[in-house]
Amino acid sequence: MATSTSVPTSRFDGKLDALLRRELSQSEYERLVATEVCISVPRGSGKRTHGHVIIGPSHLYFAPIPVKKIRLLLALSDILSVAVIDDQPDFLSGKEQECTVHLSIEYKQNDQTTPTSSPNKKNLLTTSPTHSLKLTRPPAVSHDGEGQKKPEWLDLFLLQSETLFVSYLNFHLEDFQLGKRQYNTLILDKEGATQRYHSLKSDLYSAQTIQESAKLYLELSSALGLYFQLKLLYWQDNGELLLESLKDMKKWNESPLADVLEYKVIITEVILKVFQDTLVSKPKLSLLKRNNGQTLCELSECLLDAFVTDSLSDGKLMDELSVNCCAILYELSRVIQQMNWRGGCSFNLSDWSQKCSTNSGLPLLLSKMINNQISALSSDTDSTVNTALINSSTIPLLLIWVTASSQILEMCRSRYKEEFQYAIQSIGVILISEKLKRLRTLILS
């Protein structure tokens, strides 16, 4: 049986790489998340197939061994739950049996995509997913209702006990189901992408006014939304543009307050965009992990410093800034988890949360986060806040902070107990509702 591997990159080796390049669009290929050698067993069929399972932007794929073809396994939008089962397969023995990880996937049946579908390079792989994020709980799948199909299960036996495949799948599913992934499919050739990126960077370095710099950051933000390759170049650039952005966040403080706030909103939008869709970027992880998380802490501190004083003169811009900063901080918390997946990293969520708790900007940011969450739940039609972004980052980030830092937990208990008792009781997004239950238990206890 072939040696199993977990590949947290968008590049693969040998026959599998050649097959993926040939069968998938360039946009799809560049967004592949991870692969693992496994044995696929649709529950109840008894049929076992040895091959590679691959996480794509919107689908799971499967390439049987020997590698000659690839097929659609499941659409991510059809997955209802993923669980690791603590057992050992009876069809394996010895070391292979001991090293196996049993992954059970519950999914809803879909007439268009089944575990035996073949990919359609032209039609399926270059378009956005057909589902859209809804902030209410979807209808339950009936087990016996007429006209509704029962859920099915797929068992994947991953042939590597130290695999990161499950961790990447969980993170990627969260991004997909909360609508945080972008499906920009426009392609630039390598030379064109490099030239455009360095041209924008050069112009930013030479900007003489806050207005000129803001205009260039807007141009960069637009380009990042169109061309995925620019996000990769951003992280491959040894963090130069990220560090420049942190400096720019502190510049031009003598300019009119509204200009400064809008400028910071634009910069944080750029930073947030380069985190989206780059879950498995090695340069990103290497940069933020460098010097025991120094760059990551500098970014966190810069974001929190924006809330040291309350700019009451423009509540709308402060709300937008707080939403962006909260989303970036949650992305940073996930990077810290990635840094610790294989051990060997002395910087963890507890260390980071303690650092955040001592920043004088944290109390105001917490206040903005709580108020934005209440506004999102109230469905206020006059609200300008990004409801989907709030729901996908505020509660998860708060849960991480209050779990890892006793100071932040006490701050939330003393200031926001009533809000969690009455105003923030439930959220219709399934992935977030479970985290909210745990958060409310901690704060209200």
52: domain CATH number? Answer: 2.30.29.30
Mark whether 319 and 412 lie in a shared domain: yes
The pLDDT value recorded for residue 136 is 29
The pLDDT value recorded for residue 383 is 53
Mark whether 330 and 198 lie in a shared domain: yes
The pLDDT value recorded for residue 125 is 34
The pLDDT value recorded for residue 89 is 87
Q: Which two tokens stand for residue 19?
A: 């097959």
Task: Give the confidence band of 431 by pLDDT, cuts at 50, 70, 90.
Answer: confident
The pLDDT value recorded for residue 386 is 75
Per-residue pLDDT tens over the stretch 361-393 = 999 999 999 999 998 887 654 555 678 888 889
User: Is residue 6, in this structure, part of any structural domain at all?
Assistant: no
Mean pLDDT of 135-144: 36
User: Which residues fall within 8 angstroms of residue 364, CB to CB, at 6 or more apart?
Assistant: 307, 308, 309, 310
pLDDT at residue 211 is higher than 80: yes
Per-residue pLDDT tens over the stretch 330-365 = 999 999 999 998 877 889 999 999 999 999 999 999
Task: Give the confidence band of 131 by pLDDT, cuts at 50, 70, 90.
Answer: very low
Mean pLDDT of 261-270: 95
Given a contact cutoff of 8 angstroms between Cβ atoms, the answer to whether 117 and 72 are in contact is yes
User: Is residue 223, in this structure, part of any structural domain at all?
Assistant: yes
What rounded mean pLDDT belongs to the chain? 84
The pLDDT value recorded for residue 6 is 39
- Residue 93 to residue 5: CA distance in whole angstroms: 19
pLDDT at residue 442 is higher than 60: yes
User: Is residue 4, in this structure, part of any structural domain at all?
Assistant: no
User: Is residue 172, in this structure, part of any structural domain at all?
Assistant: no
How many distinct structural domains can be found in the chain? 2
pTM of the full predicted structure? 0.86
User: Is residue 5, in this structure, part of any structural domain at all?
Assistant: no
Torsion of CA 309, 410, 428, 349, to 10 degrees: 80
User: Is residue 107, in this structure, part of any structural domain at all?
Assistant: yes
- Residue 251 to residue 263: CA distance in whole angstroms: 10
pLDDT at residue 4 is higher than 60: no
Residue range(s) defining the domain that contains residue 249:
190-444
